[in-house]
Amino acid sequence: MRSMRLMSILAMLVLVILAAAPRDSEAACVCYPGGSTAIHWGSGANCSQATSAAAEPGYDEADAGCYPDSVCLTTFVVDTACYWDATEMVYKVSGKVRYRCYICS
């Protein structure tokens, strides 16, 4: 009875170790420089919203630039600092996304 319980515990331990081990596809991927997106403009009720609006299409562009693999790192780089546009009554900002791509073999 005791040896059966010990075998059961060992079997569960092996399953946990196997589940935590990296898959071949994960182990074969490396994060390489990808590039930069075009400059995107965003506007919003405050600078945070304007920055998010400018960054979002850049993230989509980075995803497309890394296809068929995926993005491993992104950084939004401000081109035009946030400012108040009195004509449109919104804050505006522009910038691009620098990104790195997983390259998987």
The number of folded domains in the chain is 1
- Is 7 part of a structural domain of the chain? no
Residue 17, pLDDT score: 41
> What's 79's domain CATH number?
3.30.1660
Helices (H), 1-105: 2-20, 24-27, 47-66
Q: What is the mean pLDDT of each run of 10 residues along the chain (105 residues)?
A: 48 40 61 94 98 96 90 94 98 97 88
CA distance 75 to 69: 18
CA distance 97 to 105: 25
CA distance 104 to 89: 46
Residue 19, pLDDT score: 41
Residue 3, pLDDT score: 53
Residue 28, pLDDT score: 81
- Is 12 part of a structural domain of the chain? no
CA distance 99 to 58: 9
- Is 10 part of a structural domain of the chain? no
- Is 17 part of a structural domain of the chain? no
- Is 14 part of a structural domain of the chain? no
Residue 27, pLDDT score: 57
Q: Pairing between strand 40-44 and 29-36?
A: unpaired
